[in-house]
Every structure is written in structure tokens, then in C-alpha cells.
Structure 1
Amino acid sequence: MGKTEQTVAELMVEQLSMFGVKRIYGVVGDATIGLIDALAKQEKIQYIAVKHESTAAFMASAEAKLTGGLGVCTATMGPGAANLLNGLGDAYADRAPVLAITGQAPTDKIGTEYQQYVDQQELMSPFATYSANLASPDATIAVLQKAARTSLGQRVVSHISVPKDIFLKPATGKPRALPEVIEGPAVFTKESLKKATEIMKTAKRPMILAGSGATSVTEELEKLAELWGAGILVSLGGKGLFDESSKYILQGIGEGGNPHAAELFKQADVVLLAGSTWWPEGYVPTNARIIQIDRQFDKFVKDIPTELGISGKTEEVLPFLTESLQGFSRSEDWVNRCLEVKEKWAAQNEKEGSTEGFPVHPARIIRALDRTVAADAILALDTGDNTVWTNRIFRQKEQSVLFSGYWRTMGFGLPAAMVAKLAKPEKQVVAIVGDGGLQMVLADLLTATRYKLNITVVVLNNESLQMERDKIQAENKKEIGVDLTNPDFIKLAEACGWQGFRAESDTELESLLEQALNTNAPTLVDISTAQVFFPETE
């Protein structure tokens, strides 16, 4: 018996493996049977079967954010493809390189009244920079190559729809690796950065705003802050880049940040943005001169009044700026004001984190977490009240944080935590979620069980959509729909094969969390949480 010809689906899997893809997240559907068959016949790529396609897309986005590699998700045509959109929106908004592969109607049914048919290129157009329908087996490699190059090169979403019959047709072509790109240092010199240093030398009240793009330059930023006499503020993406004890770290700015830093930041006359595209509206200086460093120049247009954009890697730019500022006469008065703000917030932070009572104050919960989680843990944040309290209270060490930045979708925390454990099994992984966000993805507790993912999910259970309640109250409007009807999370978790822990008082939080974190199984910690109006809600 001769060798069976390779199908398009099998060739696609082989090509994806060559791209470095280790996992594909999805839900099995009729239109993707050929792809599922191909995945089942090999062991290079693990297929992670989830309960809802939005979870699959969340996981692909979270993996791309965590590893920098290509995150891949798959779904069937019609409703399956539509369910991917929320997670693809997250990848689109946070510029995570994700590829979505969806089944499509058979080629002779495209454009007809065939069940579940929809023009998927039109469906994906708001989020996908590149979207193609694979119309011929001969185009398999070319289309996959273009999708991967687009996603990885531009850090965007790509999408390929494949008619059901095409998956099963004999393939032509051979997989090939993406071209290796050797990135030499950018041609920066003291002279080419003269405009930047000239602006920086005018500063009497300098500030640095750092984000996730500054991951590899924390020491250099601390040197620059010392020399320039600047305070360092961080976006949520910069949480964990600097140890809280670092001299010039003033924590975050904006909702959930250091409340005393807001007024200080408004007085800044020169601001350096390092690896951050976020600009906290309502907290910003009106007349400051803004310098922004980023690899992708289009990020300079995100409502930030940048005077000078430096297109390049932060780590290649900072040494020249630091060298050029040698001998700079910094303002000691400004430095002292920065240090006073740091000390004032540290004292208030400690006081808030020690708030007593039951149900437990959210600040007390976050304080218990920063006392118990590993210094190099991965934190997966859902969107909601839990996000702003974590940003406000958590005193970071070297933890890394996964979150939904610009899309800000509820339901992200659990999928992101599962990805973190799959990609970094040696790390402690903790999801910090609200009861509302968790309920959007409850079925996928079983996904963690299925793949034996020893993560800890901490639920701030205040039986409400607290962030929305706060905003309604802040606008003096009437509320409806913000109260939640919650299940018994412990019974539910145990029914899904998890270990459940419930806090009975605020004094036992640390011991309860340590027990959960040291349990060799997926664990859920349910904490009855006080409904507290967040201090800076607008």
C-alpha cells in the first residue's frame, strides 16, 4: 500500500510547528474536522480543547503576550468564528500576534444560504490586519507564511478561513521556516539623539512613565532617574518591572495608581515615555514636553501629545540618553518632592492594606496576596474592581502580569492563568478575578482540570459588578443589573475537580492562601469581599 498523500490540514499543522507553535486552542466543529484529524495524528502541537471559543481566543492572545510568539486559536464556521471575536479584540487592542484559523462552508456553498455561512473576511475585518479564505490547496504555504509574517512582524491579528473540503484535499508545497531576521543595533548616537537630550536638559520637573516595553531596561531607567532627578511611574503593563523598594518608583498613575502622584505628574515639565503607549487622561501635565520611545512609530499617535518620537528599542536608546546627561544639574527640590510622594503613599498603602473587617476589604485581600505569592509568580488579572485594587495595593517584586489592557474584557483572568501554566509550568500562577468576570468563563474550570493545570484562582466575591456600581453612583444615576446571583463557588469548583478554600475571616487570609498555593491541584479561594467604593472612581 502506497504512502497516503498529505492533506492540506496536515501540511498546515507541519507549517505551524515550524513557526514554533506549541499549542492550538479551540472547540471542535464540523467545518474543522480535517484540521482536528491532522492534529490528532501528530504530537508536535498540543490541541487544547476549551469550552467556549472566546476562551480559545483569550488563551491565544495571552500566550502571545506572555511569550512574544504566535498564538493560535481555531473554531468552526459561523457561530464558532463569531465567538472568537472577543478574544481577538483583546489581541488586536494590545497588539498581540495571534492567528485565528476557522472552518468555512464547502467551496461549492460559499455565498449561498448554506447553514452557518457568513462572509468571515467581513466578520473579522475590524480586528484582523490580514484575513484570507484559502481557496486552493496550492496556496496553503503562501497564505500561512503571509499570515505568520504579518502577525509576528506587525504584532497584529491574522485570520485564515478554510472551506471544509479544502482541509481534506491533497496538499502541494513544503513547509518552510520564516526567514531569520538578525536585528542589528539601531544607528543611534549621541549626535542623533541630540534633540532628545536638549529637551531633557530643559527639565526642572522630569518624570518617566514606563510600560511593558521597558522589560529589559529597568536598571538603566533607574540610573537615568537618578541622574535626571526624575520620579518613575508605571502603567499596569509595567507592574512588576521594578521592585517596590526601588528609590524613584512612585508606583502607578491613573485609576488604581498612587493617588498622591497625580498632582505631582501634572506639574512635570518633561516626560519620557519608555515602552508605554498608555496616557492617563485627566492626570496629565498640560504643558509638558513629551518624548516617546517605541519600536512601532504608529504608537505615537495614541492620543499622546508627543513632541519627539524615537523609533527604536528602548534598550538601544537609553544608554545614549544617560551618557548625554552626565553632569546634568538636577533639581534636588523636585527629587525631594518625588521621595515625599513615595513615602506618603507607602504609609497610606500599608494602612489601607491593613484594613480590618469581614466581609474583607479588597485592599486587605491584595495585601495578603503580595505577602504570599512567589516573587517571580505570574499574575493573571481579570477586568473589574479586582484590577484597580491590585494596581493600587500590590507591592510588586519580580512578578509578571497578564491582563486585558485596551480591550478591558471581563473573563480574561482564568484563560490567561491556564496559558501561563501551560507555557511556564515551573512558575507559580495566580489568577485574581472578580465574581462577575469568573462567571463569564466558569465552564473552563474544567479545562484546567482536564490538562492538570495547578493554578490558583482568587475570587473577590462581593456579589456585584462593583466597578460599574461605583461608576453609576459617581454619576448619580439609578442602578439596575449590578447585583449578581452567585453560585457556591466552592461546591462548583469541587464539582469540577478543583480544591476549594473559603475565607471565614480577614485574619486567616495569609495562611489560607499559602495552603492553596502549596496544593498540588487547581485551587479556588473564595473570599467574601466588602462592597467598597473605589476612591478614585470618576
Structure 2
Amino acid sequence: MENSERTVAELVLDQLSLFGVKRIYGVVGDAIIGLIDALAKQDQIQFIAVKHESTAAFMASAEAKLTGRLAVCTATMGPGAANLLNGLGDAYADKVPVLAITGQAPTEKIGTEFPQYVDQQELMKPFASFSANLASQDAIIELLHRASCKSVEQRVVTHLSIPKDLFMVSSLKEPRPLPKRIDGVSYFTKESLIEATSIMKTAKRPMILAGSGAAAASEEVEMLGEMWGAGILTSLGEKGLLDESSPHLLQGIGEGGNPYAADILKDADVVLLAGTAWWPEGYVPSDAQIIQIDTHFDKIEKSIPVQLGITGSTEEVLPLLREGLQGFSRAEEWVDRCLKAKQKWAEQNEQEGNSAGSPVHPSRIMRALERTVDADAILAVDTGDGTVWLNRNFRQKQQKVLFSGYWRTMGFGLPAAMAAKLEKPEKQVVAIVGDGGLQMTLADLTTATRYGLNITIIVLNNGSLQMERDKINVMDKKEIGVDLTNPDFVKIAEACGWKGFHVATDQELESMLETALKIKAPTLVDIQTSQAFFPETN
């Protein structure tokens, strides 16, 4: 690139393009007009205009979860920046690389009573590991490079606020690419992992809990489970890690998981955490030895009593652990117990999935989805009752599940589905949302229309915040505010340029889903869903 003056906004886009950023999600606002002008004059980075800033941040978080790359959202100052916080909270909680770029008051007005001014570094402090305000046009490359590198290398949220006037000021600074990263070169040998394999060889009741960090090591997880005689559990985000038919797979654990796996995990004497820092509260075995593998040391011992932490990738470590276990004699009684729990749940799950009646039972909806969605579909799941029913009854193949893990915010499903379709246009993308969650981002139906995103939304419409109702009932408290006043979702979808279908009975469920999933346009299926009590509510 020849040495010539570029505005700060143009330098931002040049720099982000070198980082591999393909799109920026946001809402146009007064304080980012310079950035919007620069976006309009180039075609390297696409601007995705949404209806609410929280949607922009949700989409960035979902893209980062799906790709592992830096994802970017933008907003104006004051209320625009504040509206980003929920989506940034999701990215922060689930440890994914998201950069937020916000406009700020003109340089000479910072710290005054200027309309919409707020100290954005304080505003972002709970979620952003790095936040800075640009004070000079010549600092833009250094600050942006620092924020982006930190976000990618540490899987964190970072933030840069830029005064309105500085976006349009010129600088002679040159963009710098991200440093090249070579992954998978940690120095491990069979000998260096002797302590880990020594612990594993003592196991009479071994378990493997696998998460997103094991996504590239599904075969290794399965082979290790076979050799070690371990039951395998997965987090919801990696529900598609192994096919449901995998012999040692017991499905998930915790709320919505295999109910018979809970007692097994509590009885385990050695547990291997493969690429996950998640553990359902109340399931930690009292006397188990726990080994954790993760690429980032700050995830070791995250509220889990880990005895040995291994900083590395699962695909690198697992083959060496397996090699170190050569000659290990697995405990067949434990294997049989795990297989019986798998079979017992398989039979019950099959029965639950065939629940008849109208309105349609959530288990029946999950079984219908299982039969109709593509084996490699991307499922964007909102937070609520549908999340736990999917975890409980959906028997996966190789589907990828996007959801709000630790932050657990409603409103994630639709934005995540749109981001997934933009990133993976060749994939079938299905959003599974409750009626309450959908209404939090309902205006962004038109965003999918605007960009021609042929996603399918499945609405579990039971007229209530059912998860909260269940919890109120379990606590024997009085309820108020859990009943919803729902619009006709199909009419709203059609008014927004979508195709819409009502499903009132279980008899028409599969055929309607099959029809909807074949349509090459945004499509919404409104399913009249029963207010079924979730059996694992606590």
C-alpha cells in the first residue's frame, strides 16, 4: 500500500480488512457518520444494518463463536453504546473475540455536558478486557492493532471509542496485519504427560466431559472413551460433537441432559475435561481426580476443583494420552453401567419424542426437528424453555449449536441465525426460539429480509415465559408477569417479507417443517406449543 493520507475511518477499515474481518454489524448514528461514509466507499467489509444495537452485538458474538475469528460491531455514542452491552456480555461470558467500535463526543466536548456523552471506558469496563478512547488520529493503528490482537489471542471483548471529529481526520499511518499464529505446536510428548496418564490409569469409573475446545477432536474423544472405558458427556454447544449413536456417548448433563447420567458423573473417580470449562452446579464428584485440557490457562480451574491442568489443544493432547494408556485394562462393570444408562435414556427419550396431542408437546417438536433438519445444519437456540427441551430430546448428528452459554440472554436466537447464514450461506440455518425471546428482537425480521437470508425460525409459542413459570411453581411462589400477550407471528412475518406457517396439531408438524425448510427465503413456523412442565426444573 503506497504511503498516502487516509482518514481515521478509512484506516480502521483497512486495518480490520487485514485482520480478516468480513462485516461490521451496527446501527447508523450521528457520532459514527465518518465510519459509515468510509464503509459506503469500499467493498472489502460489508456493513450489516440492524434495527437495534443489541442485535448487532449478538450477531458479532455469534459470528465469533462460529468462526473463532475477530468479529466487529459498531454504534453511536451514549444510548447506542449502551445498547451494545447485552450482546457484549454474551461474548464476554462465552470467551469469544469481539471488538466494539463506538462513536464518541467531539474531541473538545469530551467530559462536558454534551448530549449523549458518557465515559465509555467506564461503561464498558465490566465486559471489555481493553477499552481506549482515541485522542490523536496518529494513534489509531496502534490502538486498533492492540485491541484486535488482545481480542483474538485471549478470546475477549475489546472496545475502542473514537470521537466524531477524528473519524474524518487524515493520518499517514500504515495498517499492520495481525501477527501470524501457528497453532498446535506446544511441546508435548507421551513422557511429558506421564502424570496425567498415571492418574487416568487409576480410574475404575472414568468420565469425559467434552466442550467446544474439542470440536476438532471428535474422533479422538470417541477413541479415548473406548480405550479408557469412559462415559462421554458433552456441553450443549458441542451437542453435535459425536453422533447420537456413538457407543459411549451419554448425551448432555445438567438441566436438559440425560437424567440418568447425573448419578454416573457423581460416582466418577477420574474425570477428563476436554476443551470445556463448564460443569453443572451440584454435579462435581466429591472424591474425583479432575484433569482439564484447554488452550487458555485462565480457563483452568474455573469453579471446578481441577487437580491437573494441561494447557494445549485437545487434538494435540488426546492422541498422546491414548498412547500413554496402552495396556490399560478398563473396568467393564463401569462400561456396562454407562451403556445401561445410555440405553435406558434412549428408550425414554424415544417415548417422550412421540408424545401426542395438541397443542404440541416440546419433546414432540424436538423429535420432528431431528427428523427434518439437515445433518450438518446450524441450530441457533434462544434462551428459555426451548433450550432445555432441545438439550433433552434432540438426538444430534453433526449439527452445530449456537447459544448463549454463560450469559443466557433471551433474544440471541434470531441474531445468531442471521450471522450464521451470512458466514455460512451454504448451510441450512434454523433458529429455535420461544415466543418471549423472539419478541425481544422481532424488529430484526426485516434485517433478514433486507439481506436475503433464507433462515427458518421455529417458534415455540406457548403464550408464556414457561421456564420462569416452572421455577416459580417449584419454589411454591405466586406468579405474575409470565403470561405473554402475543401477536400473530405469521402475519408479522409476512408483513416483513417472510413466508409464514401455523402449526396447530402434531399430525401436521413434520410435513409443515419439511415444507418450510425447503423454501429459499426467510421462513417462520409458529407452533402452538403446550405449557409442559420441564421435569428437571430446579
Please say if 1:80 is aligned against 2:80: yes
Match of 1:299 in 2: 299
Whole-angstrom distance in 1 between the partners of 2:36 and 2:222: 50
Match of 2:217 in 1: 217
Deviations 1:417-450 (A, max 9, x none): 0001000000000000000000000000000000
Match of 2:254 in 1: 254
Match of 2:330 in 1: 330
Please say if 1:395 is aligned against 2:395: yes
Q: How far did residue 184 of structure 1 move?
A: 5.2
Report the AA paired with residue 321 of structure 2: L
Any residues of structure 2 matched to 1:468-507 within 5 Å, and which?
Answer: 468-507=468-507
Structure 2 residue runs without a partner (length 5+)? none
- What's the % identity of the aligned pairs? 74
Q: How far did residue 181 of structure 1 move?
A: 2.1
Match of 1:158 in 2: 158
Whole-angstrom distance in 1 between the partners of 2:67 and 2:330: 38
Whole-angstrom distance in 1 between the partners of 2:132 and 2:76: 15
Deviations 1:118-166 (A, max 9, x none): 0000000000001000110100110110011010010000100000000
Match of 1:93 in 2: 93
Deviations 1:490-514 (A, max 9, x none): 0000000000011121011111001
Q: How far did residue 284 of structure 1 move?
A: 2.6
Report the AA paired with residue 481 of structure 1: G
Match of 2:113, SS? coil
Please say if 1:131 is aligned against 2:131: yes
Whole-angstrom distance in 2 between the partners of 1:183 and 1:493: 44
Match of 1:121, SS? helix
Deviations 1:397-424 (A, max 9, x none): 0100110000000000000000010000
Whole-angstrom distance in 2 between the partners of 1:356 and 1:284: 36
Any residues of structure 2 matched to 1:390-429 within 5 Å, and which?
Answer: 390-429=390-429
Report the AA paired with residue 371 of structure 1: R
Deviations 1:472-505 (A, max 9, x none): 1111111110000000000000000000011121
Report the AA paired with residue 159 of structure 2: H
Deviations 1:9-31 (A, max 9, x none): 01111111111110000000000
CA contact (8 A) 1:296 1:311 kept: yes
Report the AA paired with residue 76 of structure 1: T
Match of 1:38 in 2: 38
Any residues of structure 2 matched to 1:89-488 within 5 Å, and which?
Answer: 89-183=89-183, 185-488=185-488
Q: How far did residue 176 of structure 1 move?
A: 1.8
CA contact (8 A) 2:435 2:460 kept: yes
Whole-angstrom distance in 1 between the partners of 2:199 and 2:164: 59
4+ long deviations beyond 4 Å: none
CA contact (8 A) 1:99 1:148 kept: yes
CA contact (8 A) 2:448 2:454 kept: yes
Whole-angstrom distance in 2 between the partners of 1:33 and 1:350: 55
Structure 1 window deviating more from structure 2 (422-431 vs 177-186): it is 177-186
Match of 1:86, SS? helix
Match of 2:281, SS? coil
Q: How far did residue 230 of structure 1 move?
A: 0.5
Report the AA paired with residue 488 of structure 2: D
Report the AA paired with residue 224 of structure 1: L
Report the AA paired with residue 199 of structure 1: I
Whole-angstrom distance in 2 between the partners of 1:300 and 1:198: 20
Whole-angstrom distance in 2 between the partners of 1:275 and 1:5: 45
Number of residue equivalences: 536
Match of 1:252, SS? coil
Whole-angstrom distance in 1 between the partners of 2:466 and 2:187: 50
Match of 2:112, SS? coil
Whole-angstrom distance in 2 between the partners of 1:172 and 1:140: 11
Q: How far did residue 183 of structure 1 move?
A: 3.2
Match of 1:250, SS? coil
Structure 1 residue runs without a partner (length 5+)? none
Match of 1:527 in 2: 527
Whole-angstrom distance in 1 between the partners of 2:298 and 2:175: 32
Q: How far did residue 287 of structure 1 move?
A: 1.0
Q: How far did residue 6 of structure 1 move?
A: 2.2
Q: How far did residue 192 of structure 1 move?
A: 1.2
Report the AA paired with residue 303 of structure 2: D
Match of 1:534, SS? coil
Whole-angstrom distance in 2 between the partners of 1:178 and 1:265: 42
Q: What is the root-mean-square deviation of aligned Cα atoms in Å?
A: 1.0
Report the AA paired with residue 428 of structure 2: Q
Whole-angstrom distance in 2 between the partners of 1:193 and 1:15: 41
CA contact (8 A) 1:137 1:172 kept: no
Report the AA paired with residue 249 of structure 2: I
Match of 1:251, SS? coil
Structure 1 window deviating more from structure 2 (453-462 vs 221-230): it is 221-230
Report the AA paired with residue 209 of structure 1: L
CA contact (8 A) 2:184 2:312 kept: no
Report the AA paired with residue 209 of structure 2: L
Whole-angstrom distance in 1 between the partners of 2:337 and 2:208: 15
Structure 1 window deviating more from structure 2 (173-182 vs 466-475): it is 173-182
Q: How far did residue 5 of structure 1 move?
A: 4.5
Report the AA paired with residue 382 of structure 2: D
Report the AA paired with residue 530 of structure 1: S
TM-score (norm 1): 0.99
Match of 2:15 in 1: 15
CA contact (8 A) 2:49 2:447 kept: yes
Whole-angstrom distance in 2 between the partners of 1:320 and 1:16: 38
Whole-angstrom distance in 2 between the partners of 1:214 and 1:72: 25
Match of 1:368, SS? helix
Q: How far did residue 471 of structure 1 move?
A: 0.6
Whole-angstrom distance in 2 between the partners of 1:520 and 1:229: 45
Match of 1:193, SS? helix
Whole-angstrom distance in 2 between the partners of 1:45 and 1:354: 47
CA contact (8 A) 1:31 1:105 kept: yes
CA contact (8 A) 1:77 1:117 kept: yes
CA contact (8 A) 2:54 2:87 kept: yes
Deviations 1:316-339 (A, max 9, x none): 111111011111111111100100
